[in-house]
Structure 1
Amino acid sequence: MVAMAQSALSGERLREVDGFLTEAWVDLARHDERLRGLAVEVRFDRGVAHLDGAVADPAQLRLVRDLVGRLAGVLAVWCKVSVAGRAPVVVDLGCGATKQWPGNLGLDIYPAPGVNAVADLSGSLPLADDSVDVFFAVHILEHLIDFLPLLDECHRVLRPGGVLHVMSPWWRHVNAVADPTHVRLLDVQTIKGVCGQRPPGTPRWYPLHVGNDGASIFADLTPLGPDAPGPSSSHLARFFD
């Protein structure tokens, strides 16, 4: 039997899902004592949860994003939350003239309005170790023949608890092949490979959330230390075959 390709969710369906998610989150926040008093706003846009606000410590942010990510229909959890009075350092990789959020640091191989630094994303990033809280790699990985060096660089630069947000065309959607500059096809199972067993000494990732709307795949990844335990099989089963 040939498996049928998943259809991309329509804009109308995604808007309806956003309404459901908003109601579900309001209800959860009203009844979960752990969320009382937390100054975090949660907004949903086409299935992506956008978190903004401030928390006192990293554990509170992790709690909010974990609870949001458990809601059915959430594709990714993008956070711009200050922790202990410090605003996050956010970097847009390959941003071109359009950043995900105004004020992000933009890196691109070509100079353009909004690009703060010109950098070849297939090489070393001009950023210090443990200096960034959030990376956006939106429609970037499919343009790189080998994107693992870029992921390794993000791992080096991210602070503990930092997050890499990935969004790329799903290999079964026409968008994956319509752009002749695309050189890689990606699936959620590709993310499983990124987070799976890798050679000793290789940077390791923990999947906070992975999603697929039938047109794009999403992944929120946080770096693991060399001795940190990896994700459990039950956690991986949430996202991967």
Structure 2
Amino acid sequence: MNRRRRDLLDRDLECAAADLIAHDSRLRPLDVRVRFDGGVAHVDGEVADERDLPLLRETLGRLGGVLAVWDRVRVGGAEPRVVDIGCGDVKQHPGNIGVDVRPTPSVDVVADLVDGVPLADESLDQVFAVHVLEHLLDFLPLLRECHRILRPGGVLHVLAPWWGHVNAVADPTHVRLVDVQTFKHLCRPDREGLCWYPLLVTRDESTVFADMIPVKGPWTPADDRRLARFFD
């Protein structure tokens, strides 16, 4: 897709999101704004109650053409606690905590993700894993760590090259192929009972996007109807 068409689609999605928020009585009181970039919804603003966020994410994710919902919304005046694992030289937001094995100006915590993530249990609202999983022979231990450090209702945001695009094999440091169906396995309890709830899992012509919530606290595994929305 050329850049001009992508920009036009983003502007159309912004109009659709604004219309949705203005006319949905559940969302109208929320002080939020939505901007789209490459099909990803970037939401900022403030809500009074964290229970408003799942509804906002779910409703935006139902718009056709939305690939992911990334919100940086204050709850009761408090900024979200967000970490970028494997951030390299660029964090998704300057206020995020950057974690990487290689020290750069963007890295706040130097750590090898193979050894785990040196952060406390349920201490985070969101985790970004942008172009990380394809570099790991076994990424399941890292996802278990993400499950551990996210609070109930927190969100894991994953980006990875889609296996059918040349980007997946053009980089010799990529050691795993990723598809939307890769995440279906993660949405059923494993041997340890760990499970993810799919908030939005999709792809475009080059990239797989997954927004997932750890199943713990009030969250329960997705039923078959929910899984059928994203997976074969």
Q: Give the shorter-chain TM-score range.
A: over 0.9
Q: Which residue number corresponds to residue 175 of structure 2?
A: 183
Q: Which residue number corresponds to residue 35 of structure 2?
A: 43
CA contact (8 A) 1:92 1:105 kept: yes
Q: Which residue number corresponds to residue 5 of structure 1?
A: none
Distance between the aligned counterparts of 1:19 and 1:217, measured in 2? 22
Deviation of 1:197 after TM superposition, in Å, equals 4.2
Q: Which runs of at least 4 in structure 1 moved beyond 3 Å after TM superposition?
A: none
Q: TM-score, normalised by structure 1?
A: 0.92
Q: Which residue number corresponds to residue 6 of structure 1?
A: none
Distance between the aligned counterparts of 1:126 and 1:232, measured in 2? 33
Deviation of 1:12 after TM superposition, in Å, equals 3.0
CA contact (8 A) 1:204 1:226 kept: no
Distance between the aligned counterparts of 2:122 and 2:21, measured in 1? 32
Select the residue among 225, 234, 238 that pairs with 2:216: 225
Distance between the aligned counterparts of 1:227 and 1:82, measured in 2? 21
Amino acid at match of 1:131: S
Gaps of 5+ in 1: 1-8
Q: Which residue number corresponds to residue 59 of structure 1?
A: 51
SS in 2 for 1:79: strand
Asked if 1:132 is matched to 2:124, the reply is: yes
Gaps of 5+ in 2: none
Corresponding pairs, count: 232
Deviation of 1:88 after TM superposition, in Å, equals 0.6
1:201-220 aligned within 5 A: 201-220=192-211
SS in 1 for 2:113: coil
Q: Residues 68 and 228 of structure 1: is their aligned pair in 2 closer, same or farther, counting only changes over 3 Å?
A: closer
SS in 1 for 2:145: helix
Deviation of 1:202 after TM superposition, in Å, equals 3.4
CA contact (8 A) 1:91 1:136 kept: yes
Q: Which residue number corresponds to residue 27 of structure 1?
A: 19
Asked if 1:240 is matched to 2:231, the reply is: yes
Distance between the aligned counterparts of 1:30 and 1:88, measured in 2? 24
Distance between the aligned counterparts of 1:99 and 1:229, measured in 2? 31
Distance between the aligned counterparts of 1:43 and 1:105, measured in 2? 23
Range 220-229 or range 149-158, more displaced: 220-229
Of all paired residues, the percent bearing the same amino acid is 57
Select the residue among 88, 109, 114 that pairs with 1:117: 109
SS in 1 for 2:4: helix
SS in 2 for 1:113: coil
Q: TM-score, normalised by structure 2?
A: 0.96
